[in-house]
């Protein structure tokens, strides 16, 4: 069976030691977000995830959602768990107090999202989509829309969705055909959307669909897309449930994973909708929701990877198989535990190094999201926004590719027992696979990085990562105790700088050069960012080897050494691949494939 305990000690490390989490309480509106408050919130969140959500994960996967005549039923126990979730105020955690929220930092919500994803990703899809809808309305809705709908999303009594994809188009949203016809202060929305997570379910009394559609006078392409709010039930005069709207679930998908999350075909038949933001401004509004969702998906990859690691570690510590190559270690037993074998340790260390670097990087970006929203200095807000924008595609890709790889390593460590359903590891693999696809497939994230983020504002976004990296290297490269961590990071950073120049120069001459390099460049950037995190974690851990928690810091340093010596060298091959250019990819005629 899979096992999970929330990594509360690691949260304290990244929020209280690695980064200045106390600075959150100095931001306007976050005065109550002290270290003690954050600890208490995360401890309660861990209890909820471990005791309420985790026990429903496997049975929810086995039962799945049921569809009948337009009605979707979630698995047994989900409604009760959702009521508990809402009653505890978890839907309101990082929401504005003006609408009933608790007003805690997004950084804290990042930790909660990881724990939810570790224990029950399917369940987490429902409040996760609602929070994305909340963000879109908060940023782009009218005052009337905010007052009417946000309190319902915040308390969890209503939920939200994001309706983009259509049967003939996914990534290329410029091809959408859903229509919006003006109709007496509102619009009539007609069309079909597919792959709509949480599009229909029995957890909330109403569902608010945020729908991309075209007005009659819309220009072609993405410039002609508008965003509309289409409630399942129209609000009544008292703000409660009114008439049923013209939107129905036509079917649900039978999927590889996340089976307890309803993935729906949604049919809009002259459904009443309300414009959100400006006409033809739908993409900008939707990206507010999508960028939040992409970071949420990144945390899904991390969460699944954490459960896979903990479960594989427990199995390797107990399963007796063979003898250590250097001689028996458990002499009183017929065989040694798996964990004595070098290849098992290699896999476990890859898992540990991936997860802990990702958690540190997530905390760094989470803090900058809070700075971007709350800091009184516009220059500080701009710098933080730039870093978050730059790193969003990197986190989405690296965390989800890593989560899938870690879950697969978990299967490998457990062998045949990992492959069968009863142990639960194979569910983590199936659930993790979708994270690399939805909210923009990882290849699209790479194109976003090289095609939009690198050249944006004449390279200003890129400098938000490069400059702190350069300052860190300059400050620590001459410290003998830190050179084994800082110098490998510095070399990888040099390769990233070299690759950046190559991609920029070649991409200006031929866009296919940038496209051919994109995925490998993103991976190179991600490994360099992980090296930055591990070098910083080593810097914090080295002075603390003599205390009561020396075991914790020794573990950090050992994992940092493993990453620098066994994982970071991949940057050399990535630079070689990037340098090869587009010709090896593009020379083959399509007919020859």
Q: How far is CA 359 from CA 113, 162, 494, 520, in A?
A: 12, 27, 24, 22
Structure tokens at 566: 């066994």
510 phi/psi in degrees, rounded to 5: -150, 110
Q: How many residues does the chain have?
A: 593
Residue corresponding to tokens 């029950």: 120
Q: What is the DSSP letter of 217?
A: T
HSE of 465 in the Cβ direction (CA atoms, 13 Å)?
Answer: 27
Secondary structure (3-state) at 265: strand
Which one of the listed residues 439, 512, 549, 570 is annotated catalytic? 439
Handedness of CA 191, 194, 196, 199 (dihedral sign): positive
Distance (Å, rounded) from C-alpha 309 to C-alpha 353? 10
Hey, how many other C-beta atoms are within 10 angstroms of the C-beta on 207?
27
Which residues, in sequence order, are CB contacts of 544 under 8 Å at separation 6+?
550, 553
Distance (Å, rounded) from C-alpha 474 to C-alpha 472? 5
Distance (Å, rounded) from C-alpha 305 to C-alpha 411? 12
Residue 43 designated active-site: no
Strand partners, 273: 187
HSE of 490 in the Cβ direction (CA atoms, 13 Å)?
Answer: 15
Which residues, in sequence order, are CB contacts of 462 under 8 Å at separation 6+?
390, 453, 454, 500
Taking alpha carbons only, the member of 92, 93, 75 closest to residue 157 is 92
Structure tokens at 168: 């003939």
384 phi/psi in degrees, rounded to 5: -70, -40
Residue 104: is it exposed, middle or buried by C-beta count within 10 angstroms (0-12/13-18/19+)?
buried
- The separation between CA 123 and the C-alpha centre of its own chain, rounded to angstroms, equals 15
**Pairing of β 226-231 and β 206-213:** antiparallel
338 phi/psi in degrees, rounded to 5: -55, -30
Distance (Å, rounded) from C-alpha 371 to C-alpha 389? 13
Hey, how many other C-beta atoms are within 10 angstroms of the C-beta on 229?
25
Strand partners, 85: none
Distance (Å, rounded) from C-alpha 165 to C-alpha 162? 9
Structure tokens at 35: 């270290």
Taking alpha carbons only, the member of 2, 197, 9, 201 closest to residue 118 is 2
For Cα atoms 13, 355, 471, give the angle at the middle one, nearest 5 degrees.
60
Residue corresponding to tokens 């106390």: 22
Structure tokens at 359: 């958690």
Give the residue numbers marked as catalytic.
439
């Amino acid at each position: 069976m899979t096992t999970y305990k929330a990594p509360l000690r690691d949260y304290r490390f990244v929020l209280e030691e690695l980064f200045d989490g106390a600075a959150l309480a100095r931001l306007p509106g976050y005065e109550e977000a002290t270290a003690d408050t954050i600890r208490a919130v995360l401890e309660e969140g861990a209890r909820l995830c471990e005791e309420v959500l985790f026990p429903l994960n496997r049975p929810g996967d086995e039962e799945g959602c049921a569809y009948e005549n337009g009605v979707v039923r979630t698995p047994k126990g989900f409604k009760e768990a959702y009521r508990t979730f809402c009653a505890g105020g978890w839907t309101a955690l990082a929401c504005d107090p003006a609408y009933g929220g608790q007003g805690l930092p997004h950084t804290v919500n990042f930790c909660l999202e990881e724990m939810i994803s570790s224990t029950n990703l399917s369940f987490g899809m429902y409040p996760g989509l609602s929070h994305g809808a909340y963000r879109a309305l908060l940023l782009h809705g009218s005052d009337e829309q905010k007052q009417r709908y946000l309190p319902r999303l915040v308390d969890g009594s209503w939920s939200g969705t994001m309706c983009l994809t259509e049967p003939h188009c996914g990534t290329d949203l410029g091809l959408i055909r859903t229509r919006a016809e003006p109709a007496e202060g509102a619009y009539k929305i007609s069309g079909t959307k597919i792959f709509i997570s949480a599009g229909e379910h029995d957890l909330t009394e109403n569902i608010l669909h945020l729908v991309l559609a075209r007005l009659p006078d819309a220009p072609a392409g993405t410039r002609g897309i508008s965003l509309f709010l289409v409630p399942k039930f129209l609000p009544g005069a008292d703000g409660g449930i009114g008439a049923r709207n013209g939107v129905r679930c036509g079917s649900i998908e039978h999927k590889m994973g996340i089976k307890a999350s309803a993935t729906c075909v949604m049919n809009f038949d002259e459904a009443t909708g309300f414009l959100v933001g400006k006409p033809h401004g739908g993409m900008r509004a939707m990206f507010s929701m999508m960028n939040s969702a992409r970071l949420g998906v990144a945390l899904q990859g991390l969460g699944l990877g954490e459960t896979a690691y903990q479960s594989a570690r427990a199995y390797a510590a107990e399963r007796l198989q063979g003898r250590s190559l250097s001689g028996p270690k458990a002499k009183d037993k017929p065989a040694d535990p798996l964990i004595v074998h070098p290849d098992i340790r290699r896999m476990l260390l890859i898992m540990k190094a991936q997860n802990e670097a990702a958690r540190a990087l997530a905390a760094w970006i989470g803090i900058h999201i809070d700075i971007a929203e709350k800091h009184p200095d516009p220059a500080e807000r701009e710098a933080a926004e730039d870093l978050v924008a730059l790193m969003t595609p990197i986190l989405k890709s690296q965390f989800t590719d890593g989560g899938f790889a870690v879950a697969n390593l978990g299967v490998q460590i457990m062998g045949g027992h990992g492959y069968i359903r009863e142990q639960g590891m194979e569910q983590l693999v199936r659930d993790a696979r979708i994270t690399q696809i939805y909210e923009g497939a990882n290849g699209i994230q790479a194109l976003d990085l090289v095609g939009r983020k690198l050249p944006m504002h004449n390279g200003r976004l890129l400098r938000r990562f490069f400059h702190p990296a350069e300052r860190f290297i300059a400050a620590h490269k001459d410290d003998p105790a830190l050179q084994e961590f800082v110098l490998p990071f510095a070399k990888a950073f040099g390769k990233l700088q070299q690759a950046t120049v190559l991609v920029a120069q070649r991409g200006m001459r031929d866009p296919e050069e940038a496209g051919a390099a994109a995925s490998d460049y993103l991976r190179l950037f991600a490994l360099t960012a992980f090296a930055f995190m591990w070098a910083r974690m080593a810097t914090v851990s080295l002075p603390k080897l003599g205390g009561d928690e020396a075991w914790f810091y020794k573990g950090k340093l050992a994992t940092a050494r493993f990453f620098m010596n066994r994982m970071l060298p991949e940057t050399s091959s990535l630079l070689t691949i990037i340098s090869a250019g587009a010709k090896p990819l593009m020379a083959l005629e399509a007919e020859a494939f």
